[in-house]
Amino acid sequence: MSGFQERTGEGLTHQSESDDGYGSIALGHGSIINIDTGVKVKRGSMRIGELSRRTGVNAHQLRYYEAQGLLKADRGANGYREYDENAMLRVKQIRHLLGAGLSSEDIAYLLPCAVGEAPKLLGCPELLAAMRSRLRRLDDQMDRLARSRDALADYIDAAERTGDEACPSLADADLPPVSA
């Protein structure tokens, strides 16, 4: 937005440019003149930096969402991405669904059924089947992790029962340090 101020004989003059490409000059005593500046910007559109600021999501993540088909951006004549007001809601939905452990592929499938920021998902049969499948995969991963944890705990218990008297010195071994 550009603007200037100057004094005239009738009062203060101010020019500004609005989002629709029209500037206005307000003369003293309530007179306003609209001027076409030739710059056209869609109402309610925002560039990636503005969407990033308004949602708290980094611009590179927004570009990733677009590449995955989760977020749609139009391109201006200058090639810049332009997002509509609905993009803020869509980004919030994506973030909530990612927080539920869903992949971007799962989310792309679910988004057409998402309603609201949290979001609520419509219960169509295809959607429910996809979510149940994802839940089964998560359950399988949790089972594998639980078995791995149990095996590691058994090794720790056995090593603690054996004690350290028979333990060889690892100081001379060329081993990387163990992280905690």
Please write the tens of the pLDDT for every residue from 120-158.
988 888 888 888 988 899 899 999 999 999 999 999 999
Side-chain-side CA neighbours of 52 within 13 Å: the count stands at: 12
Same domain assignment for residues 67 and 14 = no
Q: In CATH, what number is assigned to the domain containing residue 83?
A: 1.10.1660.10
Same domain assignment for residues 31 and 52 = no
pLDDT tens sequence across 10-35: 444 444 444 444 444 444 444 444 44
Q: Are strands 11-17 and 22-27 parallel, antiparallel or unpaired?
A: antiparallel
Same domain assignment for residues 81 and 109 = yes
Residues 102-124: what's their mean pLDDT?
Answer: 88
Domain count for the chain, please give it.
Answer: 2
Residue 50 pLDDT: 96
Same domain assignment for residues 10 and 52 = no
Same domain assignment for residues 75 and 95 = yes
pLDDT tens sequence across 32-71: 444 444 444 455 689 999 999 999 999 999 999 999 999 9
Does 163 reside within a domain? no
Bin 96: left if φ > 0, else alpha if -120 < ψ < 50, else beta: alpha
Domain ranges, residue 118: 48-122
Does 80 reside within a domain? yes
> Is-above-0.85 flag for pTM?
no
Token representation of residue 14: 């101010």
Same domain assignment for residues 17 and 71 = no
- Name the nearest CA neighbour of 90 among 120, 64, 70, 106: 70
- Name the nearest CA neighbour of 45 among 74, 68, 24: 74
